[in-house]
Structure 1
Amino acid sequence: MFAPMVASTHASIAQSPPAEGQSSTEQQQQQRQLASQVRTRWSSPLMGRVESYKTYFRRRYMINRNWIQGHQSMISYTAPGAGVVTALQFDHDHIVVGCDNSWIQIFDTPTGELLRTLRGHTLGVWALEFSKDVDMVTGEKILVSGGCDREVRVWDMHTGQCRQVMLGHTGTIRCLKIYNRRYAITGSRDATLRVWNIYTGQSKFLLQGHRDSVRCIETHGDLLVSGSYDCTARVWSLITGECLLVLQGHFQQIYSIAFNGEYIITGSLDSTCRLWSPTTGACLATLQGHTQLVGQLQLSGDHLMTGGGDGLMYMWNLKKFECNYRVPAHDQSITSLCFDAKRIVTGGNDGAVKLWDRETGSFMRELTKTDAAIWRVAICEERVVICMQRNGRTAMEVICFDTVAPTVIDQH
């Protein structure tokens, strides 16, 4: 999820006597410059202009109210085909969707307009990620993708050109992360991970040790954690390529991982989540309650949200190793789960996308409903992007709560 950047630094401007040798005019000029810097921190990346404190907080209040009351605008896009959406990422400029028909589509976030379709993969795309920043040297915004054709491709999002095709995996690429802006990390069904230099196309590390498919990866600092169908997770150094720890304890495949530097959390087909120490590899706790696969993990500070194939949603307090609440969220498996400071959004195979209060777990309302599965959901402070199947076709809805009047725009 990608929320607007808001500076947490607070600055105060106090009147003080001019320093020795400094005129009061010079001091006033410095104070005005400082005030300008403070105001700039509160500028809105969405509105493209500097907002006063009052305007900024009023806007945030209105957005939160619109979430609750359902005041929203919506852009609906229906694709010509029926490809399953396998990957979704967005920021304030772009929405990127990967499909099992080998296409990658890039949309304009504010308007929902389809900007370009990236063609090059010959089989389904299963993993993608784009850098949040534009490269200061090349001016490019980089997207990396991988899939069933075993290729890792590097794209310039602005032009749609493929910059690199990186070969080496012998199985489907199932998970992918950009690291340190310069490297891409891929996990494959060939039981290996690779670290690639995005700009040269060269493989920096081949990480071997898993005995079955690598299903999920997460990074924090210079550490990488991988989860596998061999029922283990491994901690790797991205500096040396060395395997530092092997985390053993699950009885079935690992499908999901979260990592914040303090905890490693793994979700498994054995219906449990396990908390691990990233320094010792010790299992700190086993979280039980789900009755099926735990495929969705979201970690924020000391709180962990889990979603399962049983349709249940749990909020856990990791300091106390306690469950804050348990919610029967969907009639079928939860396919997407995301939350921020105030709210939770879930999507399920029952075709519903639902909004929940994060503090209490109370149901607030349904955001959308379709006749088939919800594939992917992503949120930021003022938007929800939903990818689904509707009437046998691939559909996407972009719901915006930073709005005054409700509107609906359909695009085909």
Structure 2
Amino acid sequence: MSSVLTFIDDPRTLARSSQVSKRWHELLSDDMTWKNLCDRHSYRRLSTSSCGRNPVPVDRQLPTYPRTCPYTLPAPLSDSSRLFDQYFPGPSTSAPNLSLRSFDATVDSASPRRRKAISYKSHFKQRYMVETAWRHGGRVKGRHITPDQGVVTSLHLTSKYIVVALDNAKIHVFDTEGDNQKTLQGHIMGVWAMIPWGDILVSGGCDRDVRVWNMATGESVHTLRGHTSTVRCLKMSNAETAISGSRDTTLRIWDIKTGICKNVLVGHQASVRCLEIKGDIAVSGSYDTTARVWSISEGRCLRTLTGHFSQIYAIAFDGARIATGSLDTSVRIWDPNTGQCHAILQGHTSLVGQVQMRGDILVTGGSDGSVRVWSLNKMTPIHRLAAHDNSVTSLQFDETRVVSGGSDGRVKVWDLETGHLVRELSSPADAVWRVAFEEEKAVIMASRASRTIMEVWSFSPPEEALIEHYRSSSPVSLPDQTMSGYQTDIEAEDRGDTKMSDALDFEESLD
């Protein structure tokens, strides 16, 4: 019987089955059943190596967002470290760059209430509750950032901070709940690029300076001078090295510990608009219509990617492939080792200003208001989403969803696998500047009533659910009224009361 249960994909069916009898409840307390369900739903696996018989979620160590794309199955891993290992590159320059938030639920400064899930069943329950909240729930906290209108030029969500840069020369630092505002002041003109690394933030803008900040203290550590025009893009290759791209056509490699410029990368003939880094390789896109591949350690150009007919605005790079989005309405896929163009993806009718790549999936957004999902295996479109009435201003996706923001003032959540619209987040604004999200949180920067506002959405289970959620997963005897409870659940569903049905399933059946 237990082996039959492993073939059931629907968690609500399993939950209701556990109410049939005490014996069925015992069978469904087998953690392997829930482990298999976690795998099928692409919920990250638990490690059995660190806590004996009580597995806990594995901490995420890499500065990228570890998830499994539904179109690419992960390779088998050893029993001692069975976790999803499909690490993918961070978002492009035109999208928010996310640092990781630990899913290990130990109490820490970033998530003081989160505790460790001690079984696959409790782990699945938490992930299911989060996914349900993404679809029709969540709690939102809103605040005004400035009393007047300010254009948000950059947004980053890290494990400790929400960081917002504006064209009024200010950088605002918040905690992950949107509280404790700290303003970094030093730039004298608009800030157009920034990148966080732990407590360090590197920023640049129209005043041509690159500044290094300590976000914990608000102190300006270094002012790095050398560029002769606006700093348009910034990335960090490690904790000590930052690379900036400027409208002066150059890139500069900085040692942010000493404040010294280690190298000037010369070759582009027009403004450097976008930049990505993977290991020792940096790739840049320029208004001169070319992209270039650079060796950071050698400080030289390895190859030039030529083929676009107009300016390059967005770039993505995962170490094996480069994707570039251009004003010529096309997206090109390049081999960074040979410089060969493998494919030209066409379909957008205007500027492609948003490009993100992870695994074998590419998602692009254009000034035509559309979002397109592409297969990088077949180099063909998977979904064509008529997302916004105007330009797509922000774009991010993970293995489950695509979140897009537009200058039409709307934020939309799409199902990555089906391409269907899941919901709209928030009420329509005048314009949406930036959106960033992680598993249990989303941050929206928008203009509403001529004021710049920030909304912080939380999709984490409420405290009362967490208390039940982290109980011991040992078998619990069911009351004699098990079947009547099951009937109540079915009756609730017949009435279309989805929320009541879900609550009965996961607050009674799984605990």
- State the TM-score, normalized to the length of structure 1: 0.87
Which residue of structure 2 lines up, in the alignment, with residue 146 of structure 1?
204
Find the aligned partners of 2:205 and 2:245 in 1 and give their Cα distance.
10
One-letter code aligned to 1:231: T
- Which residue of 315, 334, 354 corresponds with 1:296? 354
Q: Quick check: 1:402 aligned with 2:460?
A: yes
Find the aligned partners of 2:385 and 2:293 in 1 and give their Cα distance.
32
Which residue of structure 2 lines up, in the alignment, with residue 11 of structure 1?
48
Find the aligned partners of 1:249 and 1:159 in 2 and give their Cα distance.
46
Which residue of structure 2 lines up, in the alignment, with residue 100 of structure 1?
167
Secondary structure in 2 aligned to 1:331?
coil
Would the alpha carbon gap of residues 118 and 37 (structure 1) be closer, same or farther in structure 2, given more than 3 Å must change? farther
Q: Quick check: 1:172 aligned with 2:230?
A: yes
Q: Quick check: 1:41 aligned with 2:58?
A: yes
Would the alpha carbon gap of residues 39 and 371 (structure 1) be closer, same or farther in structure 2, given more than 3 Å must change? closer
Secondary structure in 2 aligned to 1:240?
coil
Find the aligned partners of 1:294 and 1:72 in 2 and give their Cα distance.
31
Shift of 1:376: 0.4
One-letter code aligned to 2:162: I
Within 5 A, what are the aligned runs for 1:89-168? 89-110=156-177, 112-131=178-197, 133=198, 141-168=199-226
Q: Percent identity?
A: 49
Q: Quick check: 1:264 aligned with 2:322?
A: yes
Q: Quick check: 1:392 aligned with 2:450?
A: yes
- Which residue of 150, 163, 176 corresponds with 1:83? 150
Which residue of structure 2 lines up, in the alignment, with residue 25 of structure 1?
none
Shift of 1:39: 3.3
Which residue of structure 1 lines up, in the alignment, with residue 413 of structure 2?
355
Find the aligned partners of 2:370 and 2:235 in 1 and give their Cα distance.
28
Find the aligned partners of 1:40 and 1:101 in 2 and give their Cα distance.
42
Which residue of structure 2 lines up, in the alignment, with residue 27 of structure 1?
none
Q: Say whether the 8 Å CA contact 2:324–2:333 is kept in structure 1.
A: yes
Find the aligned partners of 2:205 and 2:191 in 1 and give their Cα distance.
4
Which residue of structure 2 lines up, in the alignment, with residue 277 of structure 1?
335
One-letter code aligned to 2:48: A
Secondary structure in 2 aligned to 1:175?
strand
Q: Say whether the 8 Å CA contact 1:314–1:325 is kept in structure 2.
A: yes
Which residue of structure 2 lines up, in the alignment, with residue 29 of structure 1?
none
Secondary structure in 2 aligned to 1:290?
coil
Which residue of structure 2 lines up, in the alignment, with residue 58 of structure 1?
125
Which residue of structure 2 lines up, in the alignment, with residue 3 of structure 1?
none
Q: Say whether the 8 Å CA contact 2:47–2:57 is kept in structure 1.
A: no
Q: Say whether the 8 Å CA contact 1:105–1:114 is kept in structure 2.
A: no
Secondary structure in 2 aligned to 1:126?
strand
Find the aligned partners of 2:436 and 2:186 in 1 and give their Cα distance.
25
Which residue of structure 2 lines up, in the alignment, with residue 16 of structure 1?
none
Shift of 1:365: 1.2
One-letter code aligned to 1:349: S
One-letter code aligned to 2:142: S
* Higher mean C-alpha deviation, range 369-378 or range 258-267: 369-378
Find the aligned partners of 2:241 and 2:267 in 1 and give their Cα distance.
21
Q: Say whether the 8 Å CA contact 2:47–2:58 is kept in structure 1.
A: no
Q: Say whether the 8 Å CA contact 1:146–1:173 is kept in structure 2.
A: yes
Find the aligned partners of 1:182 and 1:57 in 2 and give their Cα distance.
39
One-letter code aligned to 1:63: V
Query: Structure 2: which 5+ residue stretches go unaligned?
Result: 1-42, 60-103, 464-511
Find the aligned partners of 2:266 and 2:127 in 1 and give their Cα distance.
47
Within 5 A, what are the aligned runs for 1:215-230? 215-230=273-288
One-letter code aligned to 1:210: H
Higher helix share: 2
Find the aligned partners of 1:373 and 1:255 in 2 and give their Cα distance.
21
Within 5 A, what are the aligned runs for 1:340-379? 340-379=398-437
Which residue of structure 1 lines up, in the alignment, with residue 248 of structure 2?
190
Which residue of structure 2 lines up, in the alignment, with residue 73 of structure 1?
139
One-letter code aligned to 2:126: R
Q: Quick check: 1:181 aligned with 2:239?
A: yes
Would the alpha carbon gap of residues 260 and 8 (structure 1) be closer, same or farther in structure 2, given more than 3 Å must change? farther
- Superposed CA RMSD: 1.8
After superposition, the C-alpha distances for 1:220-274 in whole angstroms (9 at most, x for unaligned) are 1110000000000000001101100100000000000000011100000000000
Q: Quick check: 1:326 aligned with 2:384?
A: yes
Higher strand share: 1
Secondary structure in 1 aligned to 2:123?
helix
Find the aligned partners of 1:114 and 1:372 in 2 and give their Cα distance.
26
Would the alpha carbon gap of residues 36 and 158 (structure 1) be closer, same or farther in structure 2, given more than 3 Å must change? farther
Which of these two proteins has the greater Rg computed from alpha carbons? 2
One-letter code aligned to 2:426: T
After superposition, the C-alpha distances for 1:148-198 in whole angstroms (9 at most, x for unaligned) are 001111111100000000000000000001111111100000000000001
Shift of 1:7: 7.1
Secondary structure in 2 aligned to 1:57?
helix
Shift of 1:364: 1.2
Find the aligned partners of 1:40 and 1:216 in 2 and give their Cα distance.
35
Shift of 1:36: 7.7
One-letter code aligned to 1:35: G
Shift of 1:68: 1.0
Find the aligned partners of 2:363 and 2:57 in 1 and give their Cα distance.
34
Shift of 1:10: 4.0
Find the aligned partners of 1:49 and 1:152 in 2 and give their Cα distance.
39
Which residue of structure 1 lines up, in the alignment, with residue 261 of structure 2?
203
Find the aligned partners of 1:385 and 1:63 in 2 and give their Cα distance.
16
One-letter code aligned to 2:340: A
Q: Say whether the 8 Å CA contact 1:370–1:389 is kept in structure 2.
A: no
Which residue of structure 2 lines up, in the alignment, with residue 24 of structure 1?
none
Would the alpha carbon gap of residues 190 and 7 (structure 1) be closer, same or farther in structure 2, given more than 3 Å must change? same
